[in-house]
Amino acid sequence: MTAIDAECLADDEIVRRVREGEPALFGVLMRRHQRRLRRAAWSILRNDTEAEDVAQHACVQAYACMGQFEGRALFSTWLTRIAVHEALARQRRRWREPLEAQPLEARPRPPVSAEKDPEAHVLHGEQRRRLAAAIEALPSGCRDVFVLTQLDGLTTGETAARLGLRHDAVRARLYRARARLREALGSVS
């Protein structure tokens, strides 16, 4: 099979053939979905290097766990979830370790603003940490929907397709996620 022929295969066909002993076809899947994985990871981590690492890790994990893919959702959805979960785990580790122990490029950066008020930067950083912790505390179904729609910029229809859910289920989970975040963050403006 030529590379051009392999590029024309659907994801589920490639998955089937990889499982049947054609591991070289897995590279087609990775090239096809690499950008989406980096974008999903970057939306959480806001760091290009870490997003690339997460995308690579997701590919390795997907290949190692190919037998666990049940086909209940699209392969791209399953793969993106692996990347999102890894990015969230890295973010959790980043928050837990002291700032001095983090590599310089992985440290949270204050937003660029016209005003140079240190108190405003500290307050913004604290609000960002509280928001990230509140997102992480969401139940996984609500968190996945929130991350894909609000951070990755997918529509509710795209999110429904990616997660294998009905459109109204995605809207309900997004509503619950927002309500929980408002409750958790209280008066943060």
Same domain, 142 and 92: no
Determine the pLDDT at residue 5. 74
Give how many domains the chain has, as a whole number.
Answer: 2
CATH number of 140's domain:
1.10.10.10
Phi and psi at residue 46, to the nearest 5°: 55, 40
Residues 98 and 133 grouped into a single domain: no
Asked whether residue 111 is domain-assigned, the answer is no
Instruction: Clarify whether residues 58 and 16 are in a common domain.
Output: yes
Which of 104, 139, 174 is where one domain is finished?
104
- Please indicate whether residue 113 or residue 5 has the higher confidence score (pLDDT): 5
Q: What is the pLDDT of residues 128-170, one digit of tens each?
A: 778 888 888 888 888 888 888 887 778 888 888 888 889 999 9
189 within a domain of the structure (yes/no): yes
**Which domain covers residue 29, as residue numbers?**
1-104
pLDDT grade, residue 79 (50/70/90)? very high
Cβ burial of 14 (10 Å; 0-12, 13-18, 19+) is: buried
Query: pTM of this prediction?
Result: 0.53
Nearest-CA neighbor of 140 among 85, 183, 179? 85
111 — pLDDT class (breaks 50, 70, 90): very low
Same domain for 64 and 154?
Answer: no
Residue 159 CA: distances (Å) to CA of 111, 142, 150, 176: 28, 12, 10, 15
Whether 78 and 165 share a structural domain: no
Query: Cβ distance 171 to 141 under 8 Å?
Result: no
56 vs 105: CA distance, rounded Å: 19
136 and 99 within one domain: no
Q: Are 59 and 37 in contact (CB under 8 A)?
A: yes
Whole-number percent of the chain with pLDDT over 90:
28
Residues 122 and 47 in one domain: no
* Residue 135 forms part of a structural domain: yes
